């Protein structure tokens, strides 16, 4: 039962360069706010929103360090870069206990908080359906579990381009069905099961929730953090924030290329839940968006669609944040505070 508790990043080896970079970043974010503002530059205001100072500073420092867009690298190298960036931004977060095991044929990791309640969140990581794994979201899952008191079961689903749709879709449905069947052995109340994820994982959580309602599986709640919901249309937020705010147009296009097989209708509801006929009994949802995120508008459109279908939905936009804030826990106080708010909402929804 590995607990991944030792070292700065217990789940992987950290280079000397990364250690120095991490130290420099954390020093910058411990500076007084007025100094951070001076280093960050003039405020960034777009669409009536002002980017948080610490986020603006982080982006500027990352550009100065010439951190690459993972989409500019071969997919295998992009996966390594995602892990490296997670290490710098998220650090090692405390947790009661961690256990790795197999879930419906896929690697899974159970995070048990220090003071666990009876609820369980089945979590699907982001990464454009081509990047990400249990380690890339290990700090975020630790933080979410420990702050909410909810057990978190993270799933390592198959990725494109090696395994395009419907591999990830099938893996997530199978994992959630497994969790339903095995809830009690995981220490969870079957009546307090939730599904969630960020970005591509938010997409997979949304379509899993839809299918759970259709199949009559118990599901109490869905947590959708800046979910991708529509492959069919580009939005105004896509145009406004596709460059300069971490998630780039290049990244999104590569993700589509890796995930969608040739000939698949981009409005297929299994990949674009915004175009789904929503079934009765869809679980209540908390939809989180970021103001400076290309996915902002489609996530909010899906929240409105669920409301129109009679689903209980709370939509929360963090107007000063960018895509990926969920994974930024040590190099920005505003992003950590936003994720803490998400954890508090999860606790309340499943208490």
Match 């290990």 to its residue by tokens.
138
Which tokens sit at 248? Answer: 């780039």
Catalytic residue flag (residue 199): yes
Of 293, 320, 324, 335, which residue is the catalytic one? 293
Q: What CA–CA distances, in Å, run from 61 to 54, 66, 207, 308?
A: 10, 9, 37, 42
Instruction: Spot the catalytic one: 125, 131, 137, 323.
Output: 323
| Cα–Cα distance list, 100 to 3, 86, 328 (Å) | 9, 20, 24
**DSSP per position, 249-308:** HHHHHHHHHHHSPTT--TT-TTT-GGGS-PPTTPPPEEEEEEEE-TTHHHHHHHHHHHHH
Cα torsion angle, 160, 163, 164, 170, sign: negative
State the first-to-last Cα distance of the chain, in angstroms, to the nearest integer: 27
Selecting among 52, 148, 199, 237, the annotated active-site residue is 199
CA distance 287 to 223: 6
Does the annotation count 323 as an active-site position? yes
CA 128 to each of CA 139, 142, 170: distance values in angstroms, whole numbers, following the listed order: 19, 21, 16
Catalytic residues: 199, 293, 323
């Amino acid at each position: 039962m590995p607990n991944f508790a030792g070292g700065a990043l217990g789940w992987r080896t950290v280079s000397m360069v990364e250690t120095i970079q991490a130290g420099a970043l954390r020093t910058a974010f411990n500076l007084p706010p007025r100094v951070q503002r001076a280093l960050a530059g003039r405020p960034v205001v777009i669409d009536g929103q002002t980017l948080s100072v610490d986020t603006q500073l982080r982006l500027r420092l990352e550009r100065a360090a010439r951190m690459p867009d993972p989409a500019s690298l071969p997919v295998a190298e992009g996966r390594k870069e995602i892990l490296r960036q997670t290490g710098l931004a998220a650090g090692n977060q405390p947790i009661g206990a961690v256990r790795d095991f197999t879930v419906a044929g896929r690697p899974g990791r159970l995070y048990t908080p220090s003071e666990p309640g009876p609820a369980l969140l089945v979590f699907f990581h982001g990464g454009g359906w081509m990047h990400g794994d249990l380690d890339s979201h290990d700090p975020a899952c630790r933080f979410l579990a420990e702050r909410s008191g909810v057990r978190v079961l993270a799933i390592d689903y198959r990725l494109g381009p090696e395994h395009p749709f419907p591999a990830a879709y099938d893996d997530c449905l199978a994992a959630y069905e497994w969790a339903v069947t095995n809830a009690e052995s995981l220490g969870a109340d079957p009546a307090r099961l939730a599904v969630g994820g960020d970005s591509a994982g938010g997409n997979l959580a949304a379509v899993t929730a839809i299918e759970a309602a259709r199949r009559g599986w118990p599901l109490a709640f869905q947590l959708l953090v800046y979910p991708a919901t529509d492959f069919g249309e580009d939005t105004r937020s896509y145009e406004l924030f596709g460059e300069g705010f971490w998630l780039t147009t290049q990244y999104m296009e590569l993700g589509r290329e890796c995930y969608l097989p040739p000939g698949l209708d981009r409005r297929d509801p299994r990949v674009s839940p915004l175009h789904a006929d929503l079934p009765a009994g869809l679980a209540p949802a908390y939809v989180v968006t970021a103001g400076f995120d290309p996915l902002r508008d489609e996530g909010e459109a899906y929240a409105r669609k669920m409301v129109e279908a009679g689903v209980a939905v709370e939509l929360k936009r963090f107007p000063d944040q960018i895509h990926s804030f969920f994974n930024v826990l040590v190099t920005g106080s505003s992003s950590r505070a936003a994720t803490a708010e998400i954890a508090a909402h999860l606790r309340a929804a499943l208490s």
